[in-house]
Amino acid sequence: MLSPTVTIIGVLAGGAVALIIGAWTYLTLKRRGIGEVLAATGSGLATTLVASVVFIVLHVQKWFGPETSWGFSVFLGFCAGICQAVLYRGDMLVPRSADDDERGA
């Protein structure tokens, strides 16, 4: 069993990698002319797959009790996939221009 510190760092790093892969998937599908909904769905599925594998390997489900199934790690990966598909899409890999105002003013 890994130490809690290593597990937390692994979950953060694995989650970030999953979101980046999801963003890359979204941008790749959009460049190929795939529609918005299908590109977002593909990015969500890619994020879910990567995040679920990372969470299962790191036994994230055990944070919620020793009897918790690995299915809970898949559920957390699915939540990351929904966030990627609905909220982020390709935002992580799109460069910001100097004219973008982060404050929205």
Is 80 exceeded by the pLDDT of residue 92?
no
Lowest pLDDT segment from 7-11, 64-68, 70-74, 86-90: 86-90
Residue 6: per-residue pLDDT: 84
Q: Comparing 54-58, 59-63, 77-81, 93-97, which segment has the lowest mean pLDDT?
A: 93-97
pLDDT at 105 over 60: no
CB 20 within 8 A of CB 93: yes
Q: Among residues of the chain, what percentage have pLDDT more than 90?
A: 54
**What is the average pLDDT across 80-87?**
90
Q: Across the chain, which distance is largest between two alpha carbons, in Å?
A: 52
How far the first Cα of the chain sits from its last, in Å, is 49
Looking at residue 3, what is its pLDDT?
A: 81
